[in-house]
Structure 1
Amino acid sequence: MSEIVQLLLNGLAAGCIYGLVALGFVLIYKATEMVNFAQGDLLMLGAFMAFALIEGFGLNYWLAFLGAVLFMAVFGYLLDTVILRQVIGQPQFAVVMLTIGLGFLFRSGASMIWGTETRAFATPFTDGVVKVGGFIIADVNLSIVIGTALLCGLLYAFFRFTRIGVAMQAASQNQLAAYYMGIPVKMIFSLVWAISAAVAAVAGILLAPVSLIDVTIGLIGLKAFAAAVLGGFGSIPGAVFGGLVIGVIEQFSGIYLPEGFKDVAAYIVILLVLFARPQGLFGNIGRKRV
């Protein structure tokens, strides 16, 4: 029982990271109907930016955290304004290929600036543990869970109680109607990209003490995409829940199943869920009358 609870706690921490990256996928898709396959690479850039602010500029962890998130928010805004806005209305295949290409570009740029070796930076949570009963919880895992909960609560309050958040919801429901009601839809799209990049940066900084930082850390976006599909690609709560499910399944399959299953367990679960419920666990079936 002790081992099961320990695996569950570790899985929830890993799942929170998947959920945050999946949240970025869903936010962009709901607003713009684009699938951003560079989302994982935005996580990588956010982690490297925090590393640069801490190691290069000597900032403490919290100032570097805030600075990296703000930088990535501006980066996401400009990414949409300068590049992605130009492909609105183009076939989905063109958009997918563009975001995949951007991911390669981000990884190449990061390798030229920071190199290909693994990086790390000190955090207030490194090497700390909390003992609860007979269980040991690493501070880094606890910080991931608490950070994810706080961020989700903040996003809920933003979308529920602010004018910009309500405008984003309106634009995601019906772009044309939102435009006729005076909502600046293009600016809203750019703000959604900014929020998505900022969320990815938070995930990258929280993940850095666990897996360290290199140019391949963004490949976690593949499992986050699986989490978004599992939860229902248009559902924000489903993205977080899907990430938690994937994280827990990975932990248990790595211990109780043969070697190699941990890397593919997430995709096996997705296939099984999609056979039974193609729209995902929290998704809705779209119907069109012709």
Structure 2
Amino acid sequence: MPSTQSGTKTASSSGEDTLTEFVQLLLNGVSAGCIYGLIALGFVLIYKATEMVNFAQGDLLMLGAFIAFTLIESFGFNYWLAFVGAVLFMAVFGYLLDTFILRQVIGQPQFAVVMLTIGLGFIFRAGASMVWGTETKAFDTPFTDGVTRLGGFVIADVNLSIVAGTAILCAVLYGFFRYTRIGIAMQAASQNQLAAYYMGIPVKMIFSLIWAISAGVAAVAGILLAPVSLIDVTIGLLGLKAFSAAVLGGFGSIPGAVIGGLLIGVIEQFSGVYLAEGFKDVAAYVVILAVLFLRPQGLFGNIGRKRV
């Protein structure tokens, strides 16, 4: 009898450990997926309006994180002021980037646009390495080293801040696009540029504003990510995994971008534990290949062409 009870307790303990590990991986995956979702959101916003694919989106994340670092470490801003300042700076940067550079290639073949944004990414990384160096940087946040305990689970406050920040930003963007005149004008321009122009909507300015929003969203992702992975010139390469998230969700779907990011994050976490070593690093790319083969329009995308 004692041995039977001991075996029962051991099995129960093993089951609880498995459940704890599962939930912990799920929470970590959601946190990482929120970052992918925010970067993917930038991809989708720009593509939906201009049919451009911005492969420099991840590098805008990197620049936003470095700007926040500079405001905190060099200018003495507190975290929240630096957060707002970096987002506004990157929004202006995105607006000017479209106005003076990207607008010049509208109407050119997609290959030219892709090569331009890839080239811009290299320029951003090279510029960042000249200004901030190649060493990793970090700054303190109100969430650094904090943890929250929920039952038997331990959640880092930085992960909670990522999830909360993503939820708040998505709610703000939803309200902006649904209830403001500029947001409605952006939707109109993304659906039919010519009709929007004839209705008096300044389409070129609207596109620049969309680039501004996309760059601001990237900055938010970079600042939220900074306490987790630190800041260096290579963190922008997360944009490649975020591209997978955008494809998975459907490249024209804003909710799909966030959901795709969450799925990629969760898949990465579980594949890193339950699949062969090293598979975690390629999981996102395996997913994108599978989606392109089985459902090219993504989970929430529609087959069809936009009228211009």
Q: 1:159 aligns with which of 159, 163, 177?
A: 177
2:216 matched residue in structure 1: 198
Contact 2:56 2:121 in 1 (8 A): yes
d(CA) in 2 for partners of 1:81, 1:265: 37
Give 1:139-288 correspondences, 5 Å limit. Answer: 139-286=157-304
**Residues paired across the two proteins, number:** 289
Quote the residue 1:15 is aligned against: 33
Q: Does 1:87 align with 2:105?
A: yes
| Deviation per residue, 1:252-288 (Å, 9 max, x gap) | 0111111110011111122222222110000001169
Q: TM-score if structure 2 supplies the norm length?
A: 0.93
Deviates further, 149-158 or 257-266? 257-266
CA distance in 2, matches of 1:269, 1:37: 19
Q: Which amino acid aligns with 1:81?
A: T
Amino acid at match of 1:260: G
SS at match of 1:271: helix
Q: What CA distance in whole angstroms lies between the structure 2 residues aligned with 1:104 and 1:274? A: 27
The alignment yields a C-alpha RMSD, in angstroms, of 1.1
User: 1:7, 1:49 → 2: CA distance?
Assistant: 31
Q: Specify the code of the residue in structure 2 equivalent to 1:185.
A: V
Q: In 2, Cα distance between the equivalents of 1:266 and 1:76?
A: 27
SS in 2 for 1:136: strand
Aligned equivalents of 1:273, 1:111: Cα separation in 2: 35
Give distance in 1, aligned partners of 2:289 and 2:105: 31
**Partner of residue 144 from structure 2, selected from 117, 126, 137:** 126
Q: Give the distance between the partners of 1:18 and 1:68, measured in 2 at CA.
A: 19
- Per the alignment, in what secondary structure is the counterpart of residue 101 of structure 2? helix
Per-residue deviation, 1:71: 0.1
**Which region of structure 1 is more displaced relative to structure 2, 253-262 or 141-150?**
253-262
Matched, 1:5 2:27: no
Q: Which residue number corresponds to residue 6 of structure 2?
A: none
Task: Name 2:123's counterpart in structure 1.
Answer: 105
Q: What's the secondary structure of 2:155's corresponding residue?
A: strand
Q: Deviations over 1:16-40 (max 9, x none)?
A: 0000000000000000110000000
Instruction: In structure 2, give the amino acid aligned to 1:122.
Output: D
Supply the distance in 2 between the matched residues of 1:20 and 1:167 (Cα, whole angstroms): 22
1:287 and 1:17, CA in 2 relative to 1: closer, same or farther beyond 3 A?
closer
Following TM superposition, where does structure 1 have runs of at least 4 consecutive aligned residues deviating by more than 4 angstroms?
none
The normalised TM-score by structure 1 is 0.98
Larger radius of gyration: 2
Unaligned residue ranges in structure 2 (runs of 5+): 1-18
- Distance in 2 between the 1:277 and 1:91 partners? 25
Task: Give the secondary structure class of the aligned counterpart of 2:148.
Answer: strand
Aligned identity (percent) is 86
Q: Which of 23, 27, 31 lines up with 2:49 in the alignment?
A: 31
Distance 2:290 2:53 in 1: 22
Give the equivalent residue in structure 1 for 2:85. 67
3-state SS in 2 of match to 1:131: strand
Instruction: Show structure 1 runs of 5+ residues with no match.
Output: none
CA contact (8 A) 2:244 2:287 kept: no
